[in-house]
């Protein structure tokens, strides 16, 4: 099976002081060991960049741009990168209308749309409740603690 990694997982993979760092790391390790395909997409990288470069005082990681760029390169070398395809927007529009998505959940809907467009059945996320509404579109959220 294949998994799209949520940004909540990516940020915890690199933040050694996060209380969920070990859960994220172990989940990814177990999935790789089981031969699962792990994916990321442009939306993840954009969201990761925003969190990584934001100051710690405002809930960011406070990383310099050069460090963030190196981490993005490592993610792209480690995980399968799903390019934005024309059908992603169509899937996103279907999902936001079909699931009545508003506000910040629009970003989650875009990740679900990428998974839907590429037939990736799972999203590995610490925000599994946020993604539960997208199950009807063939995208099941899996919390790292349940891997």
CATH code: domain of residue 108: 3.40.50.1010
Q: What SS3 state is found at 132?
A: helix
For the whole prediction, is pTM greater than 0.85?
A: yes
CB–CB of 95/138 below 8 Å?
no
- Residue spans of alpha helices (H) in 34-120: 42-53, 65-78, 86-98, 105-117
Our measurement of the distance from residue 141's CA atom to the centroid of its chain's CA atoms, rounded to an integer in Å, reads 10
The domain tally of the chain equals: 1
What is the per-residue pLDDT across 12-35, written as a single tens digit (0 to 9) for each?
Answer: 999 999 999 999 999 999 999 999
Q: Shortest CA distance to 76 belongs to which of 10, 145, 134?
A: 10
Q: Which domain holds residue 30?
A: 2-146
pLDDT at 77: 97
**pLDDT for the residue numbered 65:** 96
d(CA 3, CA 80) in angstroms, rounded, equals: 10
SS3 (DSSP) at 39: strand
pLDDT reported for residue 69 = 97
């Amino acid at each position: 099976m294949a998994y799209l990694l949520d940004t909540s997982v990516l940020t915890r993979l690199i933040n050694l002081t996060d209380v969920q760092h070990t859960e994220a790391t172990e989940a990814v390790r177990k999935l790789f060991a089981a031969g699962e395909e792990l994916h990321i997409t442009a939306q993840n990288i954009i969201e990761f960049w925003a969190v990584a470069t934001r100051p710690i005082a405002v809930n960011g990681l406070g990383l310099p741009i050069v460090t963030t760029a190196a981490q993005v390169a490592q993610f792209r070398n480690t995980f399968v990168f799903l390019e934005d395809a024309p059908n992603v927007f169509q899937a996103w529009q279907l999902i936001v209308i079909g699931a009545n998505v508003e506000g910040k959940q629009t970003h989650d809907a875009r990740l679900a749309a990428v998974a839907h467009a590429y037939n990736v059945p799972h999203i590995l996320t610490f925000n599994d409740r946020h993604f539960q509404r997208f199950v009807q579109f063939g995208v099941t959220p899996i919390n790292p603690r349940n891997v």
